[in-house]
Amino acid sequence: MATSDRRRGSRLGADGERWHRWQMGDLERKRSAAPGDSGRAEPAEPHQQDAKAAALRAEAELACNEGYATGHAEGHAEGYRDGYAEGLAAANAAAELEFHKRVSLHLTPLAGLAESFREALAQLDDETANQLVELALITGRQLAGESLAANPDHILSVVRELLEADHSLNGKSRLWLHPDDLTLVSSAIGDTLEASGWECCADHALERGGCRVTSASGGLDASLGTQWKAILDQRRRRQPPSPDATGTPDTPSESDATDGDA
């Protein structure tokens, strides 16, 4: 009978396809298998919920780790930049301080040497200036001698200046001249001198261009040697005193002591 039922339940249609007999159980199975027929989804299994939660936790932990790593890297980079700048500034300050210390250490001994060199240079300048002045005076005296030789009439101007200063002399005055100048003065202004009461006399010790006047009350010296000495004295008065001048006075020489005993 079962065989006959299967035969009845499975027959060939007109087109040759096999068809089955409808049964109530098939519809119920299809209805229970269709999604949404019950009105709500079946709840997930516990192991599925645990896996989903674990995945969310892993994703959150990964994001946290990534954020921490990123922040740590950025903070490390910023800290490195700040630390590098501060360290570089501190190193530069220390190097500059050390440089100044070394410079001061090496230059301090040279300060005294530089001061001594400056003083020596100043003294050398003074000595050089003095030598130049001496040379200029010697040259000037030579040029004056050459000028007097080329222009002997200069003695006339000297004698006239002495005549104007005659008020300081009392009594008969005598004018002493080089023999060559005596001839020139006597021929040029002899009458004037005679009218003033002056007597012309020769003095071979005098240089040409110079003269001197003597009287009972004193005299006037216009010789070249005296004029030259006056120039030198004036120069010495203008020259600053040397360090030796402020020291102890010079001890008298043996010749001075001998002269004093005499």
pLDDT in tens, 204-232: 998 888 899 998 888 888 887 777 777 66
- Per the prediction, the chain carries an average pLDDT of 71
> Does residue 164 carry a pLDDT above 80?
yes
Q: What is the mean pLDDT of residues 138-152?
A: 62
Q: Quick one: which of 189, 215, 212, 192 has its CA closest to 202?
A: 212
* Average confidence (pLDDT) over 44-66: 77
Bridge partners, residue 213, by sequence: 175, 220
In sign, the C-alpha dihedral spanning 29, 34, 39, 43 is: positive
Is 231 in contact with 137 (CB distance < 8 Å)?
yes
Position with higher pLDDT, 55 vs 9: 55
CATH class of the domain comprising 152-241: alpha beta
How many whole angstroms separate alpha carbon 209 and alpha carbon 186? 14
Count Cα neighbours of 58 within 13 Å in the Cβ-side half-sphere. Answer: 6
How is the chain split into domains, by residue range?
A: 152-241
Give 253's pLDDT tier (boundaries 50, 70, 90).
Answer: very low
User: What is the token pair recorded at 239?
Assistant: 């020259």
pLDDT at 175: 92
Confidence of residue 183 (pLDDT cuts 50, 70, 90): very high
pLDDT number for residue 86: 82
**Whole-angstrom distance, CA of residue 46 vs CA of residue 50:** 6
Element (H, E) at 220: strand 218-221
What tens digit of pLDDT does each residue of 4-40 get? 444 444 455 455 555 556 555 555 555 555 454 444 5
d(CA 153, CA 142): 18
Helix (H, G, I), strand (E, B) or coil at 11: strand
Closest CA relative to residue 186, chosen from 155, 217, 207: 155
Task: Identify which has the larger pLDDT, 62 or 202.
Answer: 202
- pLDDT above 70 coverage of the chain, percent: 55
- Mean of the pLDDT values across residues 238-261? 47
Looking at residue 259, its pLDDT comes to 42
Please state the rounded mean pLDDT for residues 120-134.
67
**C-alpha span between 13 and 15 (Å, rounded):** 5
Please report where in the chains the tokens 């001249």 appear, as a residue. 177
Q: What residues does 218 pair with on adjacent strands?
A: 215
Of 140-154, 214-228, 242-256, give the range with the top mean pLDDT: 214-228
What whole-number distance in Å separates Cα of residue 220 and Cα of residue 211?
Answer: 9
Q: What was the pLDDT predicted at 53?
A: 78
d(CA 254, CA 96): 65
